[in-house]
Amino acid sequence: MKAVKTGLLVNMALVLVKLSAGIFGHSYALIADAIESTLDVFSSIVVWAGVRISNRPASENYPYGLGKADALAAAIVSFMLLGAGIGVAFAAIHEILTPHLLPRPFTLAVIPLVIVTKEVLFRRVLHIGEETGSGAVEADAWHHRSDAITSAAAFIGIAIALWGGEGWESADDWAALVAAGVIVANGAFLLRGVIHDLMDRMPPTEIVTEIDAAAKSVDGVLATEKMAVRRHGPDYYVDLHVQANPLLTLHDAHILSGKVKGAIKKKIPRVANVLIHMEPFEG
């Protein structure tokens, strides 16, 4: 929550800086960059709301909790990125076809500060997103990275326009068009992962392997099968069939299943719950 709020405040400040520099410095690449940062503000608000809702405890109506709000927030951010990229692309094409003034030199001084700020935010927020398992926070981090890339493209475009002089005015707009492609690509990349989470796709093989190894490490477990793992916000929910000695009493089988559940949750803290079906070992 703290990281999202920090990003929100930084984005609001950058919007003012980039928009002012773009308008007074005749740079559409910077204006496009400001538009992308404006969407960063709204995406941070969406992520903030998604994280708050997903952290609410389970209830009678939502026995699994509201973790999917995290994925829904990430989906909204992804669509915002796609929309921003397409909008900037159309506007850049329009500017390429419309004669206009060269960018002013002072616009170059603004951009390096923006790039450094956004890259620092990206690394910090991505680390927090990976640490907490929040897809929405990771999406917010990649939004910061796309902003840094659009700023870098703006810098290159403005530099080329100023170096080339008259006749090179559109270099700035071509940079905005390249930045638009990067934004769309980031949006599509994020949306792909979000769809996987919403459709309950199995997580990466290394997580499944860890869960299986934790279950088999429990004394009395003779085999495992029919494992299903799904992501619910930052957490994982596991369904697992465990085979044990057919002569175990119901009470002993119940105790064994509890030990398996505990071993899995201890080894993979992001596992919120494990549903175990006990079966007789069949060799």
Residue with tokens 């390429």: 96
The yes-or-no verdict on residue 191 having pLDDT over 80 is: yes
pLDDT tens digits, 50-69: 878 888 888 888 888 888 88
Q: Residue 124, Cβ neighbours under 10 Å: how many?
A: 15
pLDDT of residue 98: 77
Torsion of CA 108, 181, 148, 144, to 10 degrees: 150
Q: Are 272 and 235 in contact (CB under 8 A)?
A: yes
**What's the pLDDT tens digit per position in 210-265?**
999 999 999 999 999 999 999 887 789 999 999 999 999 999 999 999 999 999 99
Model pTM score:
0.70
Which domains are present in the chain?
2-198 (1.20.1510.10), 205-280 (3.30.70.1350)
DSSP summary character for residue 57: P
- pLDDT band with cut points at 50, 70 and 90 for residue 100: low
Confidence of residue 267 (pLDDT cuts 50, 70, 90): very high
Q: Contact 103/162 with Cβ under 8 angstroms?
A: yes
pLDDT for position 29: 66
For residue 279, which of 255, 258, 248, 251 has the smallest C-alpha distance? 248
Dist. CA 105–CA 48, nearest whole Å: 37
- Rounded distance between C-alpha atoms, residue 225 and residue 113, angstroms: 54
What was the pLDDT predicted at 200?
85
Contacts of 42 (CB under 8 A, 6+ apart): 80
